[in-house]
């Protein structure tokens, strides 16, 4: 059916048509190569006949050489034909390769268009400008919220520094107390004198109470 449509001018797939042409040309090249082998063998046989009859039968030798010349001319024409067919195969293969590359590039271009859609440079620029604007706005809002937390509150910075210094001193004292165990010191002369003064004071208080 495809052959009939092609015969009557029906539309065919260019890729398939190129492949069919390449297959046909390669088949024809195989036939030419076989015929070249046949003609080469025929030339060798004629040379043998001419050599065998060169002395005893010059007419037969001459006829063999004449046939050899004709066969050589036919072989030359066949080789020229083979060269033309090989050129056509190379051209078709190159064209088919280029067509496949173009088809792949076209698909890639279509895919990029689908991805980008109506996206343009102007749209991208506007979007980036909006993002920067909103980012700046968010930063300003955060700063305003954090600064309003202490709005209307008067804070004495000197008092804060003094309180911080007191806390620091307390912490140092706690660490020193934790690192050193208090040592018991025996009572010295001053301690004894203090005790005697206390006893004298208590005695005077007792005498005053009895006198009453």
pLDDT tens, residue by residue, 14-45: 778 888 888 999 999 999 999 999 999 999 99
Rg for the chain (alpha carbons), in Å? Answer: 59
**pLDDT for position 86:** 94
CA separation, residue 115 to residues 65, 131, 135, 203 (Å): 75, 21, 27, 109
Token pair 């052959």 is found at: 3
Kindly report the average pLDDT of the chain as a whole number.
80
47-59 burial code (b ≥16 CB/10 A, e <16): eebbeebeeeeee
In a domain, 54, yes or no: yes
Count of structural domains within the chain: 1
pLDDT digits (tens, 9 = 90+) for 46-70: 999 999 998 889 899 999 999 999 9
In a domain, 189, yes or no: no
**pLDDT for position 178:** 72
In a domain, 65, yes or no: yes
Range of the domain at 37: 23-121
Cα–Cα distance measured from residue 115 to residue 111, given in angstroms and rounded to the nearest whole number: 6
In a domain, 138, yes or no: no
In a domain, 28, yes or no: yes
In a domain, 62, yes or no: yes
Token pair 């007792």 is found at: 206
Lowest mean pLDDT among 81-95, 158-172, 184-198: 184-198
**CB under 8 Å to 29, separation ≥6 — which residues?**
82, 85, 86, 89
In a domain, 200, yes or no: no
- What is the mean predicted confidence (pLDDT) over 185-205? 61
Using H for helix, E for strand and C for coil, what is the string for the chain?
A: CHHHHHHCCCCCCHHHHHHHHHHHHHHHHHHHHHHHHHHHHHHHHHHHHHHHHCCCCHHHHHHHHHHHHHHHHHHHHHHHHHHHHHHHHHHHHHHHHHHHHHHHHHHHHHHHHHHHCCCCHHHHHHHHHHHHHHHHHHHHHHHHHHHHCCCCCCCCHHHHHHHHHHHHHHHHHHHHHHHCCCCCCCCCHHHHHHHHHHHHHHHHHHHHHHHC
In a domain, 100, yes or no: yes
pLDDT digits (tens, 9 = 90+) for 104-132: 999 998 888 888 887 788 888 888 999 99
**pLDDT for position 211:** 54
Tell me the whole-structure pTM to 2 decimals: 0.47
CATH at 27? 1.10.287.1060
**CB under 8 Å to 43, separation ≥6 — which residues?**
68, 71, 72, 75
């Amino acid at each position: 059916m495809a052959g009939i449509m092609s015969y009557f001018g029906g539309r065919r797939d260019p890729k398939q048509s190129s492949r069919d042409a390449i297959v046909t040309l390669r088949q024809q090249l195989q036939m030419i190569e076989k015929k070249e082998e046949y003609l080469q063998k025929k030339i060798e046989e004629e040379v043998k006949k001419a050599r065998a009859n060169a002395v005893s039968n010059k007419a037969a030798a001459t006829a063999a050489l004449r046939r050899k010349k004709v066969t050589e001319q036919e072989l030359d024409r066949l080789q020229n034909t083979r060269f033309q067919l090989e050129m056509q195969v190379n051209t078709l293969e190159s064209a088919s390769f280029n067509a496949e590359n173009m088809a792949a590039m076209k698909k890639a271009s279509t895919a990029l268009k689908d991805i980008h859609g109506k996206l343009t440079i102007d749209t991208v620029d506007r979007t980036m400008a909006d993002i920067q604007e909103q980012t700046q706005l968010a930063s300003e809002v955060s700063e305003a919220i954090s600064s309003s937390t202490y709005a209307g509150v008067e804070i004495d910075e000197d008092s804060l520094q003094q309180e911080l210094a007191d806390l620091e001193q307390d912490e140092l004292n706690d660490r020193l107390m934790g690192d050193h165990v208090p040592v018991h010191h025996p009572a010295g002369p001053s301690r004894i004198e203090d005790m005697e003064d206390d006893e004298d004071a208590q005695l005077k208080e007792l005498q005053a109470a009895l006198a009453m």
